[in-house]
Amino acid sequence: MTPRGFPAFAPGRARRPRTWWGTAWNRAWEADALDAGPLRAGRRLAAAGHVGAITVSPGRLAAAVHDGDTEQAYATRVRVAPLADDDWDRLAGEVAARAGHQAALLAGQLPRDLAEASGVPLLPGLGEITPECDCPEWDHPCRHAAALCHQVSWLLDTDPALLLLIRGRDAHTLVPTGAAAPAPAATATGDGPTSSKRSTGAGTAAAEAYARALPPLPPAPEPVPGAPTLPLLPPGPDVDVDALRSAVAVAAGRAAALLHAHRGPDAAPVPTDRDPG
Q: How far apart are CA 77 and CA 94, in angstroms?
A: 32
Question: What per-residue confidence (pLDDT) applies to 197?
Answer: 38
Question: What is the predicted pLDDT for the residue at 131?
Answer: 96
Give yes or no for a contact between 9 and 191, defined as CB atoms under 8 angstroms apart. no
Query: What confidence score (pLDDT) does residue 14 get?
Result: 78
pLDDT at 127: 92
pLDDT along the chain (277 residues), means of 10: 90 89 95 92 96 96 95 96 94 90 89 88 94 94 97 95 94 75 44 42 61 72 62 69 77 76 60 46
Q: What pLDDT is stored for residue 175 in this prediction?
A: 86
What is the per-residue pLDDT for 191? 47
Determine the pLDDT at residue 196: 38
Q: What is the pLDDT of residue 84?
A: 95
The whole-number pLDDT of residue 215 equals 75
Tell whether pTM > 0.75. no
